[in-house]
Amino acid sequence: MHWIQKILFYMNGRYGYDEFSKVLLITGLLFGVAANFVGGTGVSALGLALIAFGGLRVLSKEQTNRRRELQAYLRIKHKLQHVYRRTRNRWIQRKAFKILKCPECHQKIRVPRGRKIRITCPSCRHSFVEKT
């Protein structure tokens, strides 16, 4: 049997490579490299643990558990992406817009800066004049 056929036979029924495994393996490698500069055995051990976990996930035959781990990873990743985008957009718009709170229902409202305007809350329809 050719060596590639042996590998394919060995990988038959195993979970394989996914995004979470990739992140674990790359993070583990980065921790391993960082351990050389920082000089900590804890950093090195953490890197090895991440690589081992990523490798075991690739070779695992328990596909249901691996998919569940992937879903949990993707949920956390999407939450972090949402927080990052919201923070970045607020930072970009900070000079053009201001975030006010409705005095009635405390709904956050984005208004243009540097004007005196009448604001109507989109949530409770309360109307108030504010200098932004």
Residue closer to Zn ion by CB (options 43, 102) is 102
What residues make contact with Zn ion under the rule CB under 5 A? 102, 104-105, 107, 121, 123-124, 126
Least separation in angstroms between CB 102 and Zn ion? 3
User: For residues 94 and 125, which CB has a smaller minimum distance to Zn ion in the complex?
Assistant: 125
Least separation in angstroms between residue 115's CB and Zn ion is 20
Query: How many other C-beta atoms lie within 10 A of the C-beta of residue 17?
Result: 13
Least CB distance to Zn ion at residue 132 (A): 16
Q: Among residues 35 and 102, whose Cβ is nearest to Zn ion?
A: 102
Burial of residue 28, with CB atoms counted within 10 A of its CB: 0-12 exposed, 13-18 middle, 19 or more buried: buried
